[in-house]
């Protein structure tokens, strides 16, 4: 490992190096100014948040644009029906797509059907592999809402962290609300109600709502049989002193509680052909993730990293944490975590394959064959020798390419394409010096590369970089290009 890089890493124990230690913490370099006004407004973010707000996370659709686009938690998808939305109470919608629904679009809204009528898989659905497939959107299997939270009185408040987001839908004083802690991989969608009357809807339709025996003291349970043949489980955990809820099926599309409620509702889909899931869900309901903490360390050619899930519970008897893991997670689990996987309990993700239930608050991963020697050379053998004919052809081309106008080719209004030009000439330098051993030509070109790169290192490009003072209020090293038109770069 390069000595300069090693100096930036923290040795937690002899031979063990932490991979997540900060390598730089000083204040921003004065050459990069702070831009207080981001061209994209920070919608619904809790004004009390003083920590950075990540802008490229799974939950970003919650504060961008109309705030109604999907959030993919895997395996579930959720999206908001926001205040001022037409027709329905403000709330959070839940969906999950089984593999056969990529073809069978019977439950897709009409507007989406018109875009997907040709094929779910295509263009040849019998090809292996197919060129594309379509995951239907907008299948509103279940919606959490409350009678008091209508478009005229409700608002949304978002509290994001590095690995989670809390979504609150509340009335103007904020005394009545629903809070949804959203974490990727959650086995249940959790809704925490405060002094409102629960109201649930389904765009698919409730074929039957069955009140079940309490799985344990203080916990209510219902089986929801939908018109598409899917079965979901709904649990209620009232806070101490709150009357357990009674649900009334109004019609095929909605359910309402008999009175105001304080506590948690949890929703889970029953995996197909898995009779043992329901008993496990009964045992695990009452605990939900609120975030996760990532650790990672390196020891020789082996690395260990872990997700430590932060959790809350309903206050009743302690219960295990039920999560879903993607295939690449399962492949890397250490033996203990692997023993917590329920391989028969599967819900599919949209694009990442089958997800399996994991009953554990900590996931530990092992990677035991990491590459140690990485260089710019594309050849496995660093001592490759070119034949005379090959060398002459490459050298002639390199001399011609080295005469290009690097300074102007990299002086564009897009840092992306400017960077591509710099990368091209930097790689050409390596070929000329290391592969062709033409050091004089290589050093001449290297001087041009350094001159062109200095423009960006000194922030003198057409659109200089600034530190974002809207989403990153602690002035992180993430930077924003301010252009004359939003999204120009």
Asked if 337 and 409 sit in the same domain, the reply is no
State the CATH number of the domain containing residue 429: 1.10.287
Q: How far is CA 300 from CA 209, 373, 486, in A?
A: 56, 12, 45
The answer to the question of residue 272 being in a domain is: yes
Task: State the chain's maximal CA–CA distance in angstroms.
Answer: 87
Residues 445, 346 within the same domain: no
Are both 278 and 230 inside the same structural domain?
yes
Asked whether residue 465 is domain-assigned, the answer is no
Same domain, 431 and 353: no
Tens digits of residue pLDDT in 409-468: 999 988 899 999 999 999 999 999 988 999 999 999 999 999 999 999 998 998 888 888
Q: Which long-range contacts (CB under 8 A, 24 or more apart) does 457-460 make?
A: 458/31, 459/31, 459/32
Domain range enclosing 186: 66-97+139-372
Q: Which residue has the higher pLDDT, 41 or 187?
A: 187
In a domain, 282, yes or no: yes
Domains of the chain: total: 2
Q: Is residue 47 part of a domain?
A: no
- Does residue 145 lie within any of the structural domains? yes
Give 256-304 pLDDT, tens digit per residue: 999 999 999 999 999 998 989 999 999 999 999 999 999 998 888 889 9
What is d(CA 358, CA 322) in angstroms, rounded to the nearest whole number?
6
DSSP string for 114-180: HHHSS-SEES-TTSSS-SEE--------EEEEETT--TTTEEEEEEE-SS-EEEEEEETTSSSEEEE
- Mean predicted lDDT score pLDDT of the chain: 86
> Which of 96-110, 296-310, 343-357, 471-485 shows the lowest per-residue confidence on average (mean pLDDT)?
471-485
Whether residue 284 is contained in a domain is answered as: yes
Question: Which are the contacts of 466, defined by CB distance < 8 A and separation ≥ 6?
Answer: 32, 33, 34, 35, 479, 480, 481, 482
Written as one string, the DSSP assignment of 199-229 is: EEE-SS-EEEEEE---SSTT-EEEEEEETTS
- Shared domain for 449 and 337, answered yes or no, is no
Question: Which residue do the tokens 């644009």 mark?
Answer: 65
Task: Note whether 163 and 232 are same-domain residues.
Answer: yes
**pTM for the model:** 0.86
Residues 6+ apart with CB under 8 A from 435: 384, 386, 394
Claim to verify: residue 396 and residue 336 sit in the same structural domain: no
Residue 134 inside a domain? The answer is no
Q: Are residues 275 and 237 in the same domain?
A: yes
- Shared domain check, 338 and 400: no
Between residues 135 and 76, which one has the greater pLDDT? 76
Instruction: Tell me, yes or no, whether 394 and 340 share the same domain.
Output: no
Among 39-48, 120-129, 202-211, 376-385, which is the least confidently predicted range?
Answer: 376-385
Residue 468 token pair: 């974002």
Predicted local distance difference test score (pLDDT) of residue 15: 56
Secondary structure (H, E, C), 39-107: CCCCCCECCCCCCCCCCCCCCHHHCCCCCCCCEECCCCEEEEECCCCCCCCCEEEEECCCHHHHCCCCC
CB 267 within 8 A of CB 234: yes
- Domain-embedded: residue 58: no
User: Residue 196 in contact with residue 263, Cβ under 8 Å?
Assistant: no
pLDDT digits (tens, 9 = 90+) for 59-100: 999 999 889 999 999 999 999 986 554 456 789 999 999 988
């Amino acid at each position: 490992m390069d000595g300069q890089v090693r100096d930036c890493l923290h040795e937690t124990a002899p031979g063990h190096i932490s991979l997540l230690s900060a390598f730089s913490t000083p204040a921003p370099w004065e050459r990069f100014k702070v831009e207080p006004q981001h061209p994209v407004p920070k919608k619904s973010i809790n004004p009390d948040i003083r920590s950075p707000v990540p802008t490229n996370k799974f939950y970003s659709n919650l504060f961008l644009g109309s705030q109604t686009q999907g959030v993919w938690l895997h395996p579930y998808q959720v999206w908001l029906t926001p205040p001022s939305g037409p027709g329905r109470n403000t709330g959070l919608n839940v969906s999950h797509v089984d593999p056969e629904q990529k073809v069978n679009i019977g439950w897709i809204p009409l507007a989406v059907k018109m875009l997907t009528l040709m094929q779910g898989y295509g263009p040849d659905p019998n090809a292996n592999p197919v060129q594309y497939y379509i995951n239907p959107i907008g299948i509103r299997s279940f919606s959490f809402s409350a009678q008091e939270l209508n478009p005229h009185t409700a608002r949304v408040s978002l509290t994001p962290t590095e690995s989670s987001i809390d979504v609150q839908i509340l009335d103007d004083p904020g005394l009545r609300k629903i809070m949804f802690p959203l974490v990727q991989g959650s086995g249940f969608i959790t809704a925490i109600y405060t002094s409102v009357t629960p109201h649930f809807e389904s765009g698919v339709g409730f074929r039957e709502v069955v009140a079940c025996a309490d799985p344990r003291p203080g916990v209510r349970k219902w089986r929801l049989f939908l018109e598409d043949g899917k079965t979901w489980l709904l649990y209620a955990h009232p806070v101490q002193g709150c009357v357990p809820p009674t649900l009334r099926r109004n019609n095929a599309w909605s359910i309402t509680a008999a009175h105001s409620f304080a506590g948690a509702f949890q929703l889970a889909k029953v995996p197909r052909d898995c009779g043992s899931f329901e008993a496990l869900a009964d045992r695990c309901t009452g605990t939900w993730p609120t975030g996760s903490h990532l650790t990672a360390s390196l020891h020789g050619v082996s690395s260990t990293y872990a997700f430590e899930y932060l959790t809350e519970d309903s206050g009743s008897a302690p219960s295990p944490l039920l999560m879903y893991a993607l295939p690449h997670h399962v492949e890397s689990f250490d033996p203990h975590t692997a023993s917590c996987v329920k391989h028969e309990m599967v819900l599919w993700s949209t694009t990442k394959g089958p997800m399996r239930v994991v009953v554990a608050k900590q996931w530990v991963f092992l990677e035991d064959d990491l590459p140690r020697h990485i260089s710019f050379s594309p050849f496995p053998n660093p001592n490759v020798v070119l034949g005379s004919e090959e060398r002459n052809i490459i050298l002639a081309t390199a001399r011609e390419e080295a005469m290009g106008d690097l300074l102007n080719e990299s002086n564009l209004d897009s840092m992306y394409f400017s960077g591509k030009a710099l990368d091209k000439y930097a790689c050409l330098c390596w070929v000329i010096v290391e592969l062709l051993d033409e050091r004089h030509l290589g050093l001449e070109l290297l001087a041009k590369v350094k001159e062109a790169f200095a423009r960006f290192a000194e922030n003198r490009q057409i659109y200089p970089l600034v530190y974002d003072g809207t989403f990153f209020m602690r002035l992180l090293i993430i930077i924003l290009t301010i252009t004359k038109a939003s999204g120009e770069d």
